[in-house]
Amino acid sequence: MFMKDHVTKQARRAKEASRLLACIPVDVRNNALLAMADALEARQDEILEVNAKEVAAAREKATRLNMIDRLILSPKRIADMAEGIRQVVKLPDPIGTTDFEVVRPNGLKIRRVRVPFGVVGIVYESRPNVTADAIALCLKSGNSCLLRGGSEAIRTNKKISEILKEAAIANGIPAATIEFIGIIDRDAVVVMCRLRKLVDVIIPRGGAGLIARIVEHSTVPVIETGTGVCHTYVDKAADLDMAVKICFNAKTSRPSVCNAMESLLIHKDIAAEFLPKVAKVLTDANVELRGDDACREILPDMNEATDDDWATEYNDLILSVKIVDDVDAAIEHINRYSSQHSDAIITEDTDAATRFEQLVDSAAVYVNTSTRFTDGFEFGFGAEIGISTQKLHARGPMGLEALTTMKYLVDGDGKVR
């Protein structure tokens, strides 16, 4: 009960503060953000000290190496966080604009204005930079944030949020617009995502397990982000050299991120020629290939893909490979197993490309391009709070506008209906 009360109180404070924040001009928000970026750099030693202890504890617990890599901070990584905040300052103010206006024939004046959500709940895993990103994007968009980071980095995240909060308060931002939940109990997440009317939206940033748990329990609306089971389909009409280059980039340039390719589909007519080519460059780069029976007829040494592989986001140098009959079979496979994040076709046949674009039901559908481009900066939107893989409200890279809603303001001068 203590935990539940505590989280509820934090959310209530954040809600009350959000009403004040919504009225604070953009200059004040921007100045506070600049001061927050400076504070992060000025006080980096405090952060690094706390972080070093958490990294040591993680090593003792023999945590997986890539988890430790995500946990570790350095002066460079702190400078990147500060730079990220300064970038957010440069983005246009997403709130207060009127995006629709009409005077109805009866004289009713209707305006629709962009307003903040209120309280944005963000649940994330071990990367401490998310703390700074989330606080900056929420403050810029006029939202309070209620943050819950992973337990491995909880002290580092708490320290970062304290430093940012102190600088925000000193610059005219209401204190409770930044609330960090420091309780390690996992059920704090469940409590948080059931606080309807106090929390306006929950954005999970993390793996499929975290997202599934939140979707199961949440009564607050959720925006799902970041699960990436991304496909590349190499059509019979593909330029095979281009296809090799794109597959290599999509799989190996940064395998731990959500827009990396996890599954390769190959048209049966070109498989005998293409599969050995692409397999060579990928295995040279230490990628493990897991194929279906048809692949293993061409390359008998390839590991076998099980049914689970088709739906798995490896986040690692592993790739599932399947040979398909035609573009329709590729589309069907993708619509069944994709996380609806980013999927690509490689083809010189415009009919096949159009059919793929039309029928693949994903946030970003690519023609002759690496899936690695699904990213706020690459799309020209700037910093993002996540890549939405759902269809409601936001889809694909979510910039500041995705953190706003709208309301109708109606002036009727005594009108009745």
Asked if residue 99 binds a second copy (CB under 8 A), the reply is no
Stretch that binds a second copy, among 288-296, 299-307, 319-327, 399-407 (CB under 8 A): 399-407
Query: Do the beta carbons of residue 10 and residue 146 sit within 8 Å?
Result: yes
Do 163 and 84 meet the contact criterion of CB atoms below 8 Å apart?
A: no
Secondary structure (3-state) at 38: helix
Decide whether 4 or 112 has the Cβ nearer to a second copy: 112
* 211 binds a second copy, rule: CB under 8 A: no
- By beta-carbon proximity to a second copy, the closer residue of 241 and 301 is 241
Residue of the chain from 110, 190, 294, 329 that contacts a second copy (CB under 8 A): 110
Instruction: Give the one residue of 33, 370, 386, 398 binding a second copy; rule: CB under 8 A.
Output: 370
Residue 362 binds a second copy, judged by CB under 8 A: yes
CB 363 within 8 A of CB 202: no
User: What Å distances lie between residue 241 and 273, 332, 354, CA to CA?
Assistant: 11, 25, 22
Nearest to a second copy of 106, 286 (CB atom): 106
Interacting residue with a second copy among 28, 102, 170, 175 (CB under 8 A):
102
Q: Tell me the C-alpha distance between 54 and 156, whole Å.
A: 8
Min dist. Cβ of residue 216 to a second copy (A): 6
Among 79-87, 166-174, 217-225, 288-296, the segment contacting a second copy (CB under 8 A): 217-225
Number of residues written out for the chain: 417
C-alpha 261: how far from chain center: 16
Give the one residue of 363, 385, 398, 400 binding a second copy; rule: CB under 8 A. 363
First to last CA, the chain: 49
| 207 makes contact with a second copy (CB under 8 A) | no
**∠ CA(78), CA(56), CA(203), 5° rounding?**
55
| 399 touches a second copy by CB under 8 A | no
Q: State the nearest-atom distance from the C-beta of 115 to a second copy, in Å.
A: 8
Minimum distance from CB of 234 to a second copy (Å)? 13
Give the footprint of a second copy on residues 4-43 (CB under 8 A). 19, 22-23
Contact with a second copy (CB under 8 A): which of 117, 124, 180, 314? 117
347: nearest Cα among 208, 219, 243: 243
Structure tokens at 128: 């401490």
> Token digits for 273?
């020629």
Give the pair of three-digit tokens for residue 134.
């989330």
| Span near a second copy by CB under 8 A; candidates 82-90, 161-169, 269-277, 378-386 | 378-386
Range 239-298, binding a second copy (CB under 8 A): 239, 242, 245-246, 248-250, 253
Binding a second copy (rule: CB under 8 A), the pick from 265, 365, 383, 385 is: 365
Q: What is the C-alpha separation between 152 and 126, in angstroms, rounded?
A: 6
What DSSP designation does 401 have? G
Q: Interacting stretch for a second copy, rule CB under 8 A, among 52-60, 158-166, 282-290, 370-378? A: 370-378
Q: Residue 41: which of 99, 8, 83 has the closest Cα?
A: 83
If one asks whether residue 234 binds a second copy (CB under 8 A), the answer comes out as: no
Q: Please report how close the Cβ of residue 49 comes to a second copy at its closest, in angstroms.
A: 36
Assess 98 for contact with a second copy (CB under 8 A). Answer: no
Helical spans, DSSP H, in 91-150: 129-140
Three-class DSSP category at 338: coil
Instruction: Identify which of residues 72 and 359 has a Cβ nearer to a second copy in the complex.
Output: 359
- Residue number with CB closer to a second copy (18 or 161): 18
Per DSSP bridges, beta strands 119-124 and 201-205 are parallel
Per-residue CA distances from 248 to 31, 134, 310, 311, 342 (Å):
43, 32, 19, 20, 16
Helix, strand, or coil (residue 142): coil
Q: Determine which residue in the list 98, 219, 256, 306 makes contact with a second copy, applying CB under 8 A.
A: 219
List, in order, residues 6 or more apart from 143 with CB less than 8 Å away.
Answer: 18, 21, 116, 117, 118, 119, 120, 177, 403
CB closer to a second copy, 207 vs 221 = 221
DSSP notation for 222-247? B--B----EEEEE-TTS-HHHHHHHH
Smallest distance from a second copy to CB 84, Å: 19
Residue 208 interacts with a second copy (CB under 8 A): yes or no? no
Contact residues toward a second copy (CB under 8 A) are 19, 22-23, 102, 104, 108, 110, 117-118, 196, 200-201, 215-216, 219, 221-223, 239, 242, 245-246, 248-250, 253, 335, 357-359, 361-370, 372-374, 378-380, 390-393, 395-396, 405-417
